Amino acid sequence: AGKAHESSTGGSATPISIAQINFCMSSTLLIPLAFWGSVPSHEITCLVFLSDDSKFVTGAKSGQLCFWAITESQSDTEKDISIQPRILALTHDKRVTALAKTPFRGLPEVVISVSEDGSIAFNDPEDGQCLDFQANLLQGGATSIVVLPDRQIACAGNSTDVELIDLVQLKVVTTLSGHDDWVSSLFSNDSSLQNLSSTLLSLSTRNVIRYWSVKQGEDLPFQTFILNKDDDDLNLGASMSLSPDRSLLLVVWPTTWRLYLASNCNEVEANETDFHQQGGLLKGAFLSQNSFVIWTKCGKGYTYYFNNSSELGPGTKMQAKLAKSLHLPGSVPVTHFASADQSPRYLVSADQTGNVYLWTVPAVEEYENIVEDTIFPRTICRFQDSWKNIEIEKEGTVTATLIVEDTLQMISGSSKGYVKIYSLPTDDSPITFVAHKTKVTALLTVEASPSLLSTEQKRHLVTGSEDGSIKIWEFKKERVTEFPLLHTFSFHTGAVTTLLQLNTTPPPTLPLTGPPSPNRNASMNGSSRLVTSQSFLNARKPQIPPSTPPPAPEDRGTIFSIGEDRSVALISLQSMNCRRLFTGHTAPITSLRIRQDQDYLLIGCSDESVTIWELSSGLIEGRIVGQQAQEILATSEDLSRDYKPKLLQARGTSSIVLKAEDTPIQVIILNVKKLLSELYLIYKPASQNATQSSIDVLQTHTYKAVSYLLPWRLDPDLDALLLKDLQLSPPNPNFTYGIRGAEGKLSLLLPSKSNERWVVSGTFTAIQSLAIIAISKALLYLSEAKNACSQLLSYICAMMPEKCPRYVLPSHVTLARYWQDPVDDVLYSARSLMISTMERCKPQELTELAQQISAQLKTSQGFSKSLRIVLLGIIGCEYPNSIDRDIGQLVVRGLTKLLQQEGQASFLQGAAAELIGKGYEHWRPYIDKQAQIMQKLFHLTQTSRTLKDIAQAALLNVGAHEPAHFVSVLTDAALNSSHSSLVSSSSSTSSSSSNLSSTSVGGSGSALHLIATLVRKNPSSLLPQLPRLVEAMVQCLDTSNMSLRESLLPASNEILKAIVQKYPMISFHKETQRLAVGTSKNLVNIYDLKTAVKSLVLDGHNGSVAAVAFNLDGKSLATYSPDDSLIRLWNTGPSPSFFRFGGATNNTIVKDPFNSFSIASHVKRTLTPQFLLESVQLDWSSARKLVLKRSWEAEMVIHVNS
């Protein structure tokens, strides 16, 4: 683990914007593929058992974490036990110094790891995924970690302090400084010493035990004991273990062990055995309340048991009896061991070579029945055993590797000097040739500039070796059997460690200004002047003018080579010569950076120094050391192409090389969303051009990369179909899948688990399934692929659990992550997979799932908590009976908070908006701020392009259940927005004011448009608010503010058209601009839209008015009420003088129609307003003929006399 380098392909990566980077971090779908050419080392430095006693984790010197599994199988005579390493997590850059387990962010258990550089990581115990990573959080590498109450952990080791870390904030909140020497062990005593809720015990290397109260604000020990202060032989460092009931302390020194009462440190037992001949003691730990084990440094173990300690009092002693010794095969000393917490009890030890030994430890009462004095391991496993399937070929082990991304080729160099080239994804006969006489140590492909005699674009393969030679080979994109050797360089006196390409189009850098250094001509071997970063940054060196550029900026074939002899060479592949050789550095070279605009080359070394060279002349500029050197490096372009997780958005396939000690691990990162985008671009022209076959699509490297995602070797029939229809085959060479975590940390399945991606974890299954479904949906557009993709979709969504033994269902939390996604195929895939997974659950199981997720919310924070809120919202919308009242209230509070939070990840805000709208019928009893929710949803329709459609749909759903708030909120929004725009326009004529005005007008129009939309889609929902709706529309046409009227007139017309079409109790006469509205309160209101006033109220029915209709000239109005079974006719002239009672004014009430007709009805059902909305229609077919249509009666025609 540690440094990783992107392989070069002859061109720079496509730059992406900050917005794209943020998007990449929030919703990427990346799948790592690991190609294991040889076995990495795993020198174990620490070990911890998980609560599930069948799993444990080891940390290594190289910074890796390995996740192991213990499996049992029943044979004819006894149980067979085996150990297998499952996953390698490349988490830290430095040695892992301590491991522990703790609840974290809603998960019942995660693995905490600390490295010697003070970094701390939290990994999922199932798949090794890094859930969070904090660099340099601690003062140094903690060797002991203890979990405390209130979501805290204590860390100590290699320091005199104990640091308390808050697991919510992930920062050090308290430092306990009471020891004079280093702290070697920590334990938490939860059995309340001194009546405290929790006590922390710390043991120093000088045998001082301090008791700390774990309370906020307390940083002084309340009790201190010194163990064996009169025995100088025991002042050599010790380790401590606490019994399960926290009553006894086992302290182990290199020469002896002793037992103490935890309450007062009174000694109750001391060892009398001499362990000097076995190298001394290493460590000890309790196996149970009445037994413990100790290990010697030569690898021998001893178990002891004693009588019940509950009767121990002051001055009494216990008798610890030697039970059995543990036999360790081989001669490699044990370095670490751990025991399981539950029965059957396992004891695991590990050594520096990665060997792991397992014993089953008998219970105390079983010791007397065991005749043998020695217990042998039940099983032994070597870390290297996972690579049994990888044959070490005659060409030797892989020592260097790279991926040519644009042609999807993998190149590897071996320990015997061979170079092998694979055409991915499937190549059973790779091209192999001898490149060097010794080990190949570095590889690079470079696009060379066309020569003067030819415009053909050429590519070179550059290989470096252990003997210091560098060879240039002609490399063609098409498959060939020969690679002509063009040139050989031999100027390094040590192995070539790195090959890098000079980027000829550097990004803009901070200017380095100032005059040249007076020590310009000093050599590295002379008395070069040591400069500071401040003097260097303040220098006044001008930028290089165009007439004196750096060496050949047009030459795309310029590379750097770094050697173990601490030299750097600048090589031109166009002229095939070494242009510069930079030598004499004080330590091994670790980084190479450049400032082309100032002609500077900066070389970083392992001693934290930076040497500054002038690139064009090869002369030294100066040397900087320490932190100042790092500041200089941070402002320069990095040529090393270190692994940058945020930039994986650029391509569908990206490649990196991870270093585990000296072993390269070639990794390809498949960006599924980018692959989808590339596939769309490829087959879209094919679908539009009849002469171009989709076969062309099948030949692209993007399409071939899809082979890595398919579920090969699970079903022979499915394999045959994929081979036939998709023209793809199982990938070769072999690889394993991985998962990407926080800060781009990768966790990779080991080679022995290459076919087990469906049995690792719910997260692993979810990501793999999601990728396959999304790709299959995209390929459905290809006629040749439709059948295979349809079968593939059915297989993943429905058949996989039955076809795959030990199948792990997809994680609902992970799928909730993609419930709202900007890529449609990913969004629909996540929803299909989520629903199909939930449909497999019984109602009780869904209820239990909701309760489990709800319980996790209590310990979740931030993004993790938000995802669980979204998941509960999905369950509540799809399966409302699974959510009880308490969970419903919790979900509503959470979704409302997500909706209101500014700056929240857009997909979380979008999911919250959708789920509030979709499930509003179920959430309604728990919501008391309906207007605020609607205001926020409307705000999103105006301010967020990505969430506009989602927020609009949600607003309409909520409005259908809350019509009063809907009309009020949107009317206010329309009037307020329009008013604001008019004020802005009148106060300023500047462009910014004009832009504000147009935006505000758009907002007011959008508000009225949404009202019209709900009228068209769900007219019955607004029926109770129809009078209020019409009043609001009329208010928008107020003639006292003509600017307001003009701005809102188009949207008001849209509402008018919608309500006239949808509501039979509304009629509009265009010529007279009169609008009649029948109400449920027996009235008919008539509005004059020219003046925006209510001109007349007709009061003549004894029930709600279900239909109204103006006659053709607008002088008469017919109204119908099924409650009193009457049709009435009213005079409605163009002015008040036409009313029956002359002189009527605005809002005049008229109670006498000029004619009435009794209408018979034989309906036996209740005539609800919603039913009448779709069942009644009243129209004038001519000036004297009125037609009444009712769905439950025959059509009635009424002839009206003049």
**CA dist 543 to 511, 515, 593, 1134, Å?**
8, 11, 17, 82
| Residue 207 to residue 212: CA distance in whole angstroms | 16
Q: What is the pLDDT of residues 21-66, one digit of tens each?
A: 233 334 689 999 999 888 888 889 999 989 888 899 999 999 999 9
Q: Is the N-terminal amide bond of 344 cis, ω within 30° of 0?
A: yes
Calculate Rg over the CA atoms of the chain.
Answer: 39
pLDDT, the chain, mean: 81
Q: What is the pLDDT of residue 466?
A: 95
Q: What is the pLDDT of residue 599?
A: 86
Q: Predicted confidence band at 505 (pLDDT cuts at 50, 70, 90)?
A: very low
Q: What is the pLDDT of residue 991?
A: 39
Q: What is the pLDDT of residues 899-946, one digit of tens each?
A: 988 765 678 899 999 999 999 999 999 998 899 999 999 999 988 788
Greater model confidence, 256 or 768: 768
Q: Residue 300: which of 340, 252, 332, 253 has the closest Cα? A: 332
Q: What is the pLDDT of residue 287?
A: 82
> Average pLDDT in the 686-713 region?
69
Confidence check: pLDDT of 3 > 60: no
The three-state secondary structure class of 90 is strand
> Average pLDDT in the 98-127 region?
93
Q: What is the pLDDT of residue 862?
A: 84
Q: What is the pLDDT of residue 527?
A: 35
> Average pLDDT in the 485-511 region?
76
Of the spans 67-76, 173-182, 1178-1187, which averages the highest pLDDT? 1178-1187
Q: Is the N-terminal amide bond of 425 cis, ω within 30° of 0?
A: yes
DSSP letter for 474, please.
E
Q: What is the pLDDT of residue 97?
A: 93
Q: What is the pLDDT of residues 441-495, one digit of tens each?
A: 999 999 876 554 455 667 899 999 999 999 999 987 777 778 899 999 999 999 9
- What are the structure tokens assigned to 667, written together? 């990794």
Q: Predicted confidence band at 355 (pLDDT cuts at 50, 70, 90)?
A: confident
**Do β-strands 321-326 and 374-375 pair in parallel, antiparallel, or remain unpaired?**
parallel
Q: What is the pLDDT of residue 368?
A: 59
> Average pLDDT in the 713-723 region?
92
Q: Residue 123: which of 568, 743, 556 has the closest Cα? A: 743
> Average pLDDT in the 696-715 region?
83
What is the percentage of the chain residues whose pLDDT exceeds 70?
81
The three-state secondary structure class of 219 is coil
Confidence check: pLDDT of 1175 > 60: yes
Q: What is the pLDDT of residue 15?
A: 29
Type of residue found at 496: V
Q: What is the pLDDT of residue 18?
A: 27
Question: Which are the contacts of 1084, defined by CB distance < 8 A and separation ≥ 6?
Answer: 1076, 1077, 1078, 1097, 1098, 1105, 1108, 1117, 1119, 1130
Q: What is the pLDDT of residues 985-1002, one digit of tens each?
A: 444 444 333 333 333 445
Q: Is the N-terminal amide bond of 733 cis, ω within 30° of 0?
A: yes
Residues 84 and 389 sit within 8 Å (Cβ to Cβ): no
Confidence check: pLDDT of 88 > 90: yes
Greater model confidence, 887 or 575: 887
Q: What is the pLDDT of residue 223?
A: 85
The three-state secondary structure class of 504 is coil
Q: What is the pLDDT of residues 161-195, one digit of tens each?
A: 999 999 888 899 989 988 888 888 888 875 444 44
Q: What is the pLDDT of residues 1023-1044, one digit of tens each?
A: 999 999 999 999 999 888 888 8
Q: What is the pLDDT of residue 57?
A: 94
Confidence check: pLDDT of 752 > 90: no
> Average pLDDT in the 197-203 region?
80
- What are the structure tokens assigned to 74, written together? 């029943």
| Residue 1198 to residue 492: CA distance in whole angstroms | 108
Q: Contacts by 476-481 with C-beta closer than 8 Å and gap 24+? A: 477/406, 477/407, 479/423, 479/431, 480/431, 481/431
Question: Which are the contacts of 844, defined by CB distance < 8 A and separation ≥ 6?
Answer: none
pTM, two decimal places: 0.85
Of the spans 221-230, 435-444, 494-503, 783-792, which averages the highest pLDDT? 435-444
Greater model confidence, 1058 or 296: 1058
Q: What is the pLDDT of residue 66?
A: 94
**CA dist 633 to 119, 208, 627, 628, 638, Å?**
22, 44, 10, 9, 8
Q: What is the pLDDT of residue 643?
A: 45
Confidence check: pLDDT of 581 > 50: yes
Q: Predicted confidence band at 963 (pLDDT cuts at 50, 70, 90)?
A: very high
SS (H, E, C) 337-399: EEECCCCCEEEEEEECCCEEEEEEECCHHHHHHCCCCEECCCEEEEHHHHHCCCCCCCCCCEE
Confidence check: pLDDT of 1202 > 70: no
Q: What is the pLDDT of residue 433?
A: 93
Question: Which are the contacts of 848, defined by CB distance < 8 A and separation ≥ 6?
Answer: none
| Residue 557 to residue 474: CA distance in whole angstroms | 13
Q: What is the pLDDT of residue 534?
A: 43
